[in-house]
């Protein structure tokens, strides 16, 4: 499947470019492919982190359960009835 692409210019330090070229050579990838792969992984990680943040936020929004004296009494009676 061919995906339409747009070219973009990104400025990198000499050190970062050298590291990028080293990894690309080891993996037998072009510099462009390595950058695309790394960016796709970063965006997936960010999406998953956002889902995690939303789950945590939803749980912290939930009010704590109300104190139920009937349930507490029933639990204590059940524990006392156990033949420990």
Nearest to 34, CA basis, from 19, 53, 46, 14: 19
Confidence of residue 1 (pLDDT cuts 50, 70, 90): confident
- Whether 53 is in a domain gets the answer yes
Domain range for residue 54?
16-63
pLDDT band at 6 (very low <50, low <70, confident <90, very high): very high
Residue 3 lies in a domain: no
pLDDT tens figures, 33-83: 999 999 999 999 999 999 999 999 988 887 777 888 898 899 999 999 988
- Domain assignment present for 81: no
Q: Which of 20, 57, 14 is nearest to 36 (CA)?
A: 20
Q: What is the pTM of this model?
A: 0.64
Tokens of 64: 């704590």
35: Cβ contacts below 8 Å, ≥ 6 apart: 10, 20
Count up the domains in the chain and report the number. Answer: 1
The encoded tokens of residue 49 equal 């982190």
Which structure tokens are listed for 25? 């050579």
- The one-character DSSP state at 82 is S
In a domain, 78, yes or no: no
């Amino acid at each position: 499947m061919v995906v339409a692409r747009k070219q973009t210019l990104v400025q990198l330090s000499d050190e970062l470019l050298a590291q990028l070229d080293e990894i690309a050579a080891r993996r037998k990838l072009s510099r462009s492919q390595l950058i695309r792969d790394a960016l796709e992984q970063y965006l997936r990680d960010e999406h998953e982190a956002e889902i995690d943040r939303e789950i945590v936020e939803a749980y912290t929004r939930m009010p704590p359960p109300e104190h139920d004296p009937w349930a507490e009494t029933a639990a204590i009676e059940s524990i006392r009835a156990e033949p420990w």
